[in-house]
Amino acid sequence: MRIGIFDSGFGGLSIYRSIRARLPQYDYVYLGDNARTPYGNRSFDAIYRFSKECIDHLFAQDCKLVIIACNTASAKALRTLQQKAMPAEHPDRKVLGIIRPSAEALADYPRDRSVALWATEGTVKSGSFPMELEKLAPGLRLIQKACPLLVPLVEAGELSGAGIDHYLGKYWRETVAEGGQDIGALLLACTHYPLLYPRIRALVPPEIDILVQGDIVAPSLVDYLARHPEVEGALSRNGSQRFLTTDQTEGFDRLSEAFLGHPVASEKVEI
């Protein structure tokens, strides 16, 4: 059986890239819901319905385990999936999100400083990160900043230049205005933002760590598989990968190269 990776579109490829680099032996199916992306400012109901349809499709492709490599879908759909749909419909499969391991990485920071994250409106409004951090590191101050313009800019290929620097500068100033001078770390809690890492690193003072989710989620999956031999033992090991998209393959193949560093040949699926 395979490992499924699901995202609202291309962004999850930034996380998949790190997962495959750490665990190249397994077989992967990536599904991007490009026809309905972005999820970032959609309602809870829409995100839950879209996510469930995509995850069901991945289970039908023989996935034992699905990683929701999308913050917005992890924030809004994971809990209901795990509590309701999974036990009723797929008791022998697993679905994991990326909020919990990312919150664990933030929870390691000392309580006398604050931590910040940048994400979509949907992730920020869901309150998922503060909820997890309250359990993991009560008292740790979190500044959440929604950066709604960054996903469309990345999807338009604007990874550098005056336009992107303008918006990054604005979001950073607003973050500092809220958090003061004691920010210890900035988590890029949206799948698209790692593509802007060089520009964000140039902007944010060097003493502030910038956390990228691929670096967090990949080791966390290694750890999960070591603790769950019933899942790991069911996984096949041919090193294969398939890329599925709900929209046109040409667009997917072109943009995915920016996320993966190599071209792919995707397949269109009807969900």
Angle between helices 13-22 and 249-260 (to 10 degrees): 60
Identify the residue among 16, 28, 30, 39 touching ligand DGL (CB under 6 A). Answer: 39
Identify the residue among 8, 34, 126, 246 touching ligand DGL (CB under 6 A). Answer: 8
Which C-beta is closer to ligand DGL: that of 8 or that of 245? Answer: 8
Which range in 67-75, 124-132, 216-224, 257-265 contacts ligand DGL by CB under 6 A?
Answer: 67-75
Q: Is 101 in the site for ligand DGL (CB under 6 A)?
A: no
- Within 205-234, the residues that bind ligand DGL by CB under 6 A are none
- State the nearest-atom distance from the C-beta of 11 to ligand DGL, in Å: 4
- State the nearest-atom distance from the C-beta of 145 to ligand DGL, in Å: 13
Handedness of CA 13, 19, 20, 22 (dihedral sign): positive
Determine the size of the site formed for ligand DGL (CB under 6 A): 17
Q: Is 118 in the site for ligand DGL (CB under 6 A)?
A: no
Q: Is 266 in the site for ligand DGL (CB under 6 A)?
A: no
Residue 58: which of 87, 86, 100 has the closest Cα?
A: 86
Cβ contacts of 161 within 8 Å, gap of 6 or more: none
**190 tagged catalytic:** yes
Which C-beta is closer to ligand DGL: that of 126 or that of 241? Answer: 126
Q: Is 259 in the site for ligand DGL (CB under 6 A)?
A: no
Write each residue from 189 to 208 as x if it is in contact with ligand DGL (CB under 6 A), else as -, in one continuous string. Answer: -xxx----------------
Q: Is 72 in the site for ligand DGL (CB under 6 A)?
A: yes
Q: Is 40 in the site for ligand DGL (CB under 6 A)?
A: yes
Please classify residue 159 by burial: count the beta carbons closer than 10 Å to its beta carbon, then call 0-12 exposed, 13-18 middle and 19+ buried: middle
Write each residue from 125 to 164 as x if it is in contact with ligand DGL (CB under 6 A), else as -, in one continuous string. Answer: --------------------------x-------------
- State the nearest-atom distance from the C-beta of 243 to ligand DGL, in Å: 16
| Catalytically annotated residue among 54, 63, 147, 190 | 190
**70 tagged catalytic:** yes
Catalytic residues: 70, 190
Per CB under 6 A, residues contacting ligand DGL are 7-9, 11, 37-40, 70-72, 120, 123, 151, 190-192
